[in-house]
């Protein structure tokens, strides 16, 4: 298997997603999803701004922007490529999340081996229109998305404190009313299917 050599860059947003090996479940219950989100706070928030997420029983989606204030040593060895180079701090933080969750999941359910497909998938987001549609697509994954607990939709429309980049998201849609209205429309899902 070839190690991915491209790095996640701070000037871009990325659609990060993955699913269970052989389409198996990765979350058996709400407790699994809550635990995954706690791990996300630990491993992802220090390195990324979160523009959206949704956890489903057999897969998950994130929209992330690498933070630019992360210090990377000036002694980067440019001969080392892929996940093991120091510039891959962002990919490493995601790998730690997935590894930590998998280890805990395997321990609880007396299983071994990989839980998620490897490597995780990522798509650099190239336009605001694509980003808006992707946010809607991710939020519309569950049937009753307005009341779904394990996506960023409710965090965006609420006034409670959140680690989601709420103001930036709402600015993409002009305001909260338009954000809600845009989510009522069906979008072409084929461009986002994993």
Mean pLDDT lowest for which of 11-25, 38-52, 74-88, 146-160? 74-88
In this predicted structure, what is the pLDDT of residue 69?
77
Q: What's the pTM?
A: 0.88
Is the predicted pLDDT of residue 73 greater than 60, yes or no?
Answer: no
Q: Which two tokens stand for residue 36?
A: 């995954």
Is the predicted pLDDT of residue 81 greater than 70, yes or no?
Answer: no
Backbone angles phi, psi at 16, to 5 degrees: -105, 125
Over range 76-93, report the average pLDDT. Answer: 62
Q: Which tens digits make up the pLDDT trace of 18-36?
A: 999 999 999 999 999 999 9
Q: Which regions of 57-165 does DSSP assign to beta strands (E)?
A: 59-66, 121-124
Is the predicted pLDDT of residue 151 greater than 90, yes or no?
Answer: yes
End-to-end Cα, the chain, rounded Å: 20
CA distance 37 to 56: 12
Is the predicted pLDDT of residue 78 greater than 50, yes or no?
Answer: no
Is the predicted pLDDT of residue 75 greater than 70, yes or no?
Answer: no
Average per-residue pLDDT for the chain? 89
DSSP letters along 77-96, please?
A: -TT--GGGSGGGHHHHHHHH
Residue 25 CB partners (closer than 8 Å, separation 6+) = 57, 58
Over range 84-94, report the average pLDDT. Answer: 77
Over range 129-151, report the average pLDDT. Answer: 96
Is the predicted pLDDT of residue 5 greater than 60, yes or no?
Answer: no
Backbone angles phi, psi at 54, to 5 degrees: -155, 130
DSSP letters along 153-165, please?
A: HHHHHS-S--SB-
Backbone angles phi, psi at 22, to 5 degrees: 55, 30
What does the DSSP 8-state code read for residue 176? H
Are the C-beta atoms of 58 and 117 separated by less than 8 Å? Answer: no
């Amino acid at each position: 298997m070839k190690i991915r050599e491209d790095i996640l860059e701070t000037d871009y947003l990325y659609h990060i997603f993955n699913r269970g090996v052989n389409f198996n479940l990765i979350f058996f219950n709400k407790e699994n999803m809550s635990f995954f989100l706690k791990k996300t706070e630990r491993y992802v928030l220090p390195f990324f701004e979160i523009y959206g997420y949704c956890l489903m029983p057999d897969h998950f989606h994130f929209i992330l922007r690498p933070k630019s204030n992360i210090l990377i040593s000036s002694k980067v060895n440019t001969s080392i490529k892929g996940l093991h180079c120091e510039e891959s701090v962002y990919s490493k933080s995601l790998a730690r999340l997935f590894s930590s969750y998998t280890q805990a999941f395997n321990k609880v359910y007396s299983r071994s081996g990989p839980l998620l497909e490897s490597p995780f998938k990522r798509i650099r987001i190239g336009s605001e229109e694509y980003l808006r549609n992707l946010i809607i697509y991710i939020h519309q994954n569950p049937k009753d998305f307005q009341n779904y607990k394990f996506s960023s939709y409710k965090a965006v429309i609420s006034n409670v404190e959140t680690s989601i980049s709420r103001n930036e998201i709402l600015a993409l849609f002009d305001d909260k009313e338009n954000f809600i209205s845009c989510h009522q429309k069906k979008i072409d899902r084929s461009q986002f299917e994993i």
